[in-house]
Structure 1
Amino acid sequence: MKHTDLIFPAVVGLFCLHLSCQSPSPNDTSTAQLAQLNTSPELLVNNNILGRFSFSESVGESAGGIPINFFHTLQITESAGVLVGSYHIDGYQTMTRLRGQLRPVDGKQWQLIFEDFEEDDLFRSDRFKPKALLCTLRLDGNQLSVSYPKNTPVSRMEGRTVVFERE
């Protein structure tokens, strides 16, 4: 065996070792880490976060005077102890389909962390980065208070808090 035959496997091995030794940034939340934040059955039952919530808003008129509305829908389900959020926005020239996991903040608050676009998303905007915070959810009865950070990739929602109603 020639020495040159060993160079490529050695370089690949060193590269893989380098990647495995890097520490994640403090804001980076891997899917495995989110899965470890297993939501207890007591929190699911006591807070009843599972379900479908919606919010609609009027955003003005088109150039032709037609009213423009946006409809936001958040479907929260549980899979293998992990809360999953499906966030849809529909309206004039809009069809956004986002999927993420909910990370518990406390017994009544969760952060929706973006994972990917759903299959039927229309635009797949590059504003959305994996592991980005989309919004923080706070459950109050049949209402879900949704707060968006100032740097949210969700258009027109930066720094806002709105109330979604359970359907």
Structure 2
Amino acid sequence: MTDLGRRVHLLIRAEGSTVATAESLTGGRLAVRFTDVPGVSETYLGGAVTYATPLKASMLGVDAEIIDEFGVISSQCAEAMASGVRATTGATYGLSTTGVAGPDDQEGKPAGTVYVGLAGPGFVTSQLLELDGDRTDIQEATCDAVLAALEERLREHTALR
């Protein structure tokens, strides 16, 4: 269990919200980060691992035009994945991960090029990460980054109330 995962769970629980995940390059690691936290069944609804491109469209509703025009390694795809998992599960927040874990380039983008997406009530956003390391390092850093982004959003929301 990570402190970051526990903090995010407690913040989500405090506002009575839920979260779901849509993963590509992290292959389920983000779901593990949530499910390692005792009591997370109160806040984590589940997720989809859409490693293959066609699954992003069929399971998450990512528009084929987004994939054709921008590729799956894009802010547009990350945002559509986060929105899609949120809509599919009914979660308050949807998180997504898409990118290149390596070792080879994909869509002309080098290993370590990652986008994380976050969708919630009234917003959808994404962040470009340029990460170093091997596949595991990139996957773990991606999970850290998307959890940190959600934690920051939750803390801002709490401060506004």
Larger relative contact order, structure 1 or 2 (CA cutoff 8 Å, min sep 6):
2
- Structure ranking higher in strand proportion: 1
TM-score by length of 2: 0.32
State the structure with more CA Rg. Answer: 1
- Structure ranking higher in helix proportion: 2
TM-score by length of 1: 0.31
